[in-house]
Structure 1
Amino acid sequence: MPARCREGRQPANAEGVAGVKRWGQWLYDKFSRHIQVRLTCYFLLILLPLVAVSLYANMRSQTILEEQIALRTKGALDSAIGYIDLALRNVEELAELVSTDPQTVSTIERAGERPSAGTLLEFAQLLKTMTNFSTVNPLLTNLSMLLSPSRTLLSTNYGGKRFEDAERYDRIAGWLGQSGNKLTVAAVPGDAFPTGERDEWNGMFDPSYISMVRSMDMVPRRSMPNLLVVTIKKQTLLELIVPLVSSRDAQIYLYAAGGSLVTQTGAAGIPEWDDEAKDAIIRPSADTGEPLLMIRAKSKATGWSIVMTQPVSELNRPATPVRWSTYMIIAISVILALWISWVVYRSISSPLEKLAYGMRQLGMGNLQIRLASKRRDELGYLIASFNRTVEDQRRLIQGHYEQQLLLSKTELKFLQSQINPHFLYNTLDSIYWSAKEHHAEEISEMVLHLSKFFRLSLNKGQETFTLEETVHHLHYYIRVQQIRFSEQFFVEYDISDDSRDLHLLKLLLQPLVENAILHGFADLDHTGMLRVASMVRDGMLVIAVEDTGCGIPADRLGTIRERLARHACTERVMSFAESDNGPGRDDFFGLRNVVARMKLYYGESSEMLLDSVEHAGTKVTLRIPLDRVRDEGEEADDFTSEVQS
């Protein structure tokens, strides 16, 4: 059976542990993933020492208040018990005077068991003497004598009385006679008197009175001594200590020597007190269970003691506003911490979270993401910068792709412009006349160079060639034109060694060479020279195509330069590249095509310079940034593959 019970408890325990782990993991995730939770925790941690100090100060002040009240009350009780000691000593001294008065003692001795008429007169005189003694001390209510031989009760308030029932007298006198020669409180059981018998003792044992008794026999000579009974009204004693009661809930108890309760205020239960306990303790009430502060003052002389009880809540009542103020401050501090953490989150963490969201969207390729913000501080600047960055990136990506597509489109237009009926007609016409005027060797050479030119121009869609390969490719075209124009010009190449391996867009130089041949050597009456040169200077690749042809007139040169400068910016280059039959399509379309391709591929820093002197020749210079032509072949191939895919 126990084994089965354990087996039944294990799943519940395991489920509880798993639940705790889940809650712990949930809290850890909230703390690690949310800045607001961390800010709140940090603010509360900052408040924690303040809250702890406030609570400690509150508790400490409460303890100090209780200690101070206990000290003041203890002092007051000590004063009260001292006053009661003084009053009791006066009573005791009075009782001793009465008990040892020679005339009183002789009168009692003469009385015997059967007082005579003369003795009764002496008893009257004795009562007068007792009355005189009792009036000296206002604390006394009644002074009585119990004369055991004659079983006679003499009382200052009620006169004399003789008990005929010896058994009844002996029972009461036996209880009272145990005090000896010291004045002590009479300890008579409450059930010692049958109904109505208590009244026969002249109020001596009335509950509202306290009776103190002592033996009048200095030397015990009989089993039942003569007794002196001093009666004090409890209300009189109570009036001595009532001023010590500080509130309606406080209670005072007066104890005689031996621990018997003499009197008390109110109807509260009698507190239990250990003689070994301290003079100030806190115990729960026997009736309500409420904590009570119990303070005792005990007389070393008489053994009497005063105990005052007061609810702890009543002691702390003056400090309640301070305590509630402390709690209110703590609550307001916690609320302020939560509010400040929320404000900080809204003012700092929320924009950061918004930026993080924008970064995630940007990482997923969402270039349309825009973050709304009206802030004018640093975070607003960051959000605005993020929006600008996204917009710039979108423009750059779109511009890059559009640029490459336009470049391909421009090159395609260029190739289409080269393969036109005029070029084919002139080429075929040249081949025809060459075949007539010359023999088949020249025709075969022209066809050979022409086929090599087209084959390299359409070489698997490759974008760039090294400058050395470009010159070889260009030479096939030049050779066809040389044969066409009957060797009217010769060509010279000056390619520097540091520029041979630099990559250049294909067919970039062919329009320049074509213009030099068609416009420079067409009407020339002597042999011309075409020079193609390259060098690296000041971080730029410089390529020059120069001819010694007829040159360009100055006004025509200015027009060409103005038209080329107008299309130098990227926007107009794109506009030019996208137009098929626009107004810019004229006889120097090839030059503008070169400018467009350079700007699109090599950027705004590339440029083309045109210089010409009429009847002397023309020089076209291309300047391309060196960092854009190094290892350009691999990058161009990769990008071409990307565009084609």
Structure 2
Amino acid sequence: MQRQIRPFNSLRNQIFVGFVMVMLVVLLIAGISAYDRVASLLKSNAEKHIQQTAVQASGRLDALIAQVNSLTAQVADDTYLQRLLYEEKQGKKATFNQRQALLQIAGSYQSFINGAQSMEIYTTNYSRIFPMDDRSLSHRLDRDWIAQADEGKGRLVWAGSDPDDPSILLAIRRINLLDRSFEHGGYVVVRMQRSFFQLNDLESSDGSQDSIMLLDGGGEVVTSNLDVHLDPQAVMDSESVVQNGKESYIVVKQRSELTGWTLAVLTPLRETTEGVSILRTALFVSGIIGVVLFLVMSFFLSTMITRPLIRLMRAMRGAQPGAMRPNLMVSSTSEINELNEVYNQMVYRQNELAQVVHDKEVMQSRAELKALQSQINPHFLFNTLEAFYWSLEDKGEEEMARMVIAMSRLFRYIITSPHQDEWVTIADELEHVERYLNIMQMRLGNRMQWEIRLSEELRTVPMPKLLIQPLVENAVLYGVESTLKPGKIEINVYPSSITGLVCVEVRDDGPGIEAERLQTIQQALKGGDPLAPGRGTGVGLVNVHQRLQLYFGGSPLGDYARLAVDSEAGAGTVIRFYIPRGSEASYDS
């Protein structure tokens, strides 16, 4: 016997593939999540360590700046220098000996800071009195730095590199005359060696040496211990990582409020991610091992689940319609046994239903025969009325002929086939009402007048058939026939003040409805006690109301899907209802 080939979309294959896909997704998500978390943690820890180094270096830098600031402040406040600058401002030029004395003062202060190369003293008109030459301050520094020193009013301003010696940094401070209400007395310029700001003795928390770059306010490198060249502007603009060829560096920056300089601590990114590559390898190997193990487990699990099902499927495939036999298989799995029991119950039920279906088919054949016979009766009625019409037309009975043909069209509108649409346009419904009123006027003569008002825009609005005619019939019976005086019936169809609705109103000027009877009808319309059938009971109104509820009760029409009856004794009766202007497809369910 040839072995049957199992299709790829079999249950076992689907279970197997499903388990494997779930395992792969779980491993992938877990691996990516673990990798990202560990990488982020390593990077965060590295940034914290670098941040600690940056804070330490920034503190050390601020201490060095404070030393320079203290030095220049002591020089600016020196009593001898203050008196000499005041005399210069008064127009008394300093002598050679007086200027020579400044050498000893400057030397005594410079000895406190190793990095101080020299100091220069200038008057308010930018002439230099120490060292002893005639070089002007405006030729020594850019006027912008002098203006910043004036604005600082005694604050130390760092002016960048010395134009004469790039290894020297310049700082300028305005000298205020203490005994003259802090009047402007001159300037002191200090020349500092760049090596003074070297921070090579700082180590990170793990004992390694970090790379440090110190940049002034203009982006110029003050000092750096980097082995490679990095663009200072790229370091200034970088948020966290700066690129130098193939090498990337993590950057942590600290800005000095005293000088406006930026201290950047840089660490190669590869040093912070060395553990990530090991983690990636471990995750990859463990993922492969997990996938292999899960493949084996999924194969055995899917086989264990599907084998009993295959046996039951073979038993079901052997069942033939009309000769189904129960399956007596017993499995060690409770779920399979329950499934087999359900199948056996289905077999018993199927055999019972086969007999029921046979009986129903016989009954349906008889019902269809009766339906064909019942369709003959309306056609017989229409043909008979047509024969009456032509007979009366030949005899000259035109009024009777018109009544017969109106009745024929009236019956054709009311009696519909099972497949005819129950929805018509307002124009069709009012045309049917007009035929009914013409027949009633032939009987009542001048006692009845009627008028139909319908705007052109509402002619094609759809509505359920035979909603208006019962209301008009009610108006004829109880508004015109119940009194001897002439009566008038008005049918008005107009757009409602409520957006999207059309109001249909039937009005008569008859004797109206008594208050007690009106209350009974309104209670029945609200779902109270049903009305007993009979003439004058209002059963037709209740039927129209129920049809409105059936068609529109669950639609956006909502609370307006009802019949409203207003009447007063001697003042006539007004009956109105609302329909939507939309398509009947929204309401016909």
Query: With structure 2 as the length reference, what TM-score do the two structures score?
Result: 0.42
Larger radius of gyration, structure 1 or 2? 1
Using the size of structure 1 for normalisation, the TM-score is 0.39
